[in-house]
Amino acid sequence: MIQSVAVPGKLRTLIVDDTALYRRAVTDALSGLPSIELVGTAGNGRMALAKLEELQPDLMTLDIEMPELNGIEVLEAISSWRKKPAVLVLSALTVQGSNLTMRALELGAFDFVTKPEGVRSLEVLKESLAPRVQAFAERAILRDRSHKVAVSRQPVVAAAPRPGSKAKRLIVIGVSTGGPQALAQVLPHLPPDLSVPVLIVQHMPPLFTAALAESLQRKSAIKIKEAEDGELVCPAQVYIAPGGKQMKIKSLPNGEIRIEITADPPENHCRPSVDYLFRSVALQAPGSAIAVILTGMGNDGAQGLRLLKRTGCATIAQDEATSVVFGMPREAVATGAVDDVLPLESVAGHLVNLLAHGKPS
């Protein structure tokens, strides 16, 4: 958890990476951000622990694969500290990197970025890193100042429960920054005999969504897997869109629903995109879904959720107080198409009650 900010309006930030080139790239990416004060760097995990004790930063960017102590060992070492920084990890785009990243997220890191390869790798890293850090920093500073932005429920008239409305056949969830931790607080509380399937878009690159599914499965009774092209959805099964691909649904004449995985272009700079999935659900299964927008940066999912609401779907957004970044839920609420704004810990129970009774408990 972010502690009090030493310099008003800025998060004291430590950069940890064993490669000087990447330390410089991260420094360049963050040095111009208005909410960041760079206070130091470290070249390995052991140095990082010393710097953490000395500098007491609010935020740390942490390379996972390092000599002396790797990033996982650093996170394990500080897990019991009363005051510790928020952590964003840097990971290799590999199977091993994806598994280590999931472990880092389980240990409390709020997000990750991958170290891309190629001629533009450092530039791509900067483009990916800076907005994530700035969005998180702005949110953390607001919390530190206790300036909560009140978000009231904004129901749409057509959204009110009404006799004859369609039974809900599926749950669809969109989530980004802070998503693995958010999903780890929702999916384990869904029963293993849930009456509908759950389709999830979590903004992630290839390889990482398979590792995410495995990580979440270890915590949950409901079945969780990375979605595959052409498979038919089943109740009590969670399908996570593959990283780097788009996921949509197709309703078949016999009433079954098939998943389609495509290489269609990104939407809102995202692939997988929440809007892409939500739009297909609105077209293929109008009025038959419960749609949820959880923590995340940007506005992906807002217009898709609005379209779902127009067809008679139920809609939920995570509240600001429990969101790592309130961008996606805020944009969804701003459309006027959200039925309920809920703290994260209430989402699973609300979903179960909506399926059972058409209303919360």
Class in CATH terms, 157-357:
alpha beta
Q: Estimate the share of the chain in helix, then strand, then coil, as percent rounded to the nearest 5.
A: 35, 20, 40
Q: Is 63 a catalytic residue?
A: no
Q: Is 176 a catalytic residue?
A: yes
Q: Is 189 a catalytic residue?
A: no
Q: What per-residue confidence (pLDDT) applies to 100?
A: 93
CATH 3.40.50.180 in the chain, residue ranges:
157-357
Could you tell me the pTM of the whole model?
A: 0.88
Catalytic residue among 275, 300, 319, 339: 300
Q: Which of 112, 141, 109 is closest to 128 using CA atoms?
A: 112
Q: Which of 218, 220, 272 is closest to 247 using CA atoms?
A: 272
Catalytic residue among 35, 91, 98, 176: 176
Q: What is the DSSP string of 64-129?
A: SS-SSS-HHHHHHHHTT-SS--EEEEEEESSHHHHHHHHHHHHTT--EEEEE--STTHHHHHHHHH
Q: What per-residue confidence (pLDDT) applies to 358?
A: 62
Pick the CATH number of 11-145 from 3.30.413.10, 3.40.50.720, 3.40.50.2300, 3.10.20.30: 3.40.50.2300
Q: What per-residue confidence (pLDDT) applies to 321?
A: 94
Which residues of the chain have a pLDDT value below 50?
1-5, 146-164, 360-361
Q: What per-residue confidence (pLDDT) applies to 230?
A: 98
Bridge pairing between strands 237-240 and 198-202: parallel
3-class DSSP state of 178: coil
Bridge pairing between strands 223-226 and 170-175: unpaired
Q: What per-residue confidence (pLDDT) applies to 345?
A: 97
Q: What per-residue confidence (pLDDT) applies to 352?
A: 96
CATH 3.40.50.2300 in the chain, residue ranges:
11-145
Catalytic residue among 203, 280, 319, 339: 203
Q: What per-residue confidence (pLDDT) applies to 144?
A: 64
Taking the C-alpha atoms of residue 97 and residue 113, their distance in angstroms, rounded to an integer, is: 11
Q: What per-residue confidence (pLDDT) applies to 117?
A: 76
Q: What per-residue confidence (pLDDT) applies to 148?
A: 43
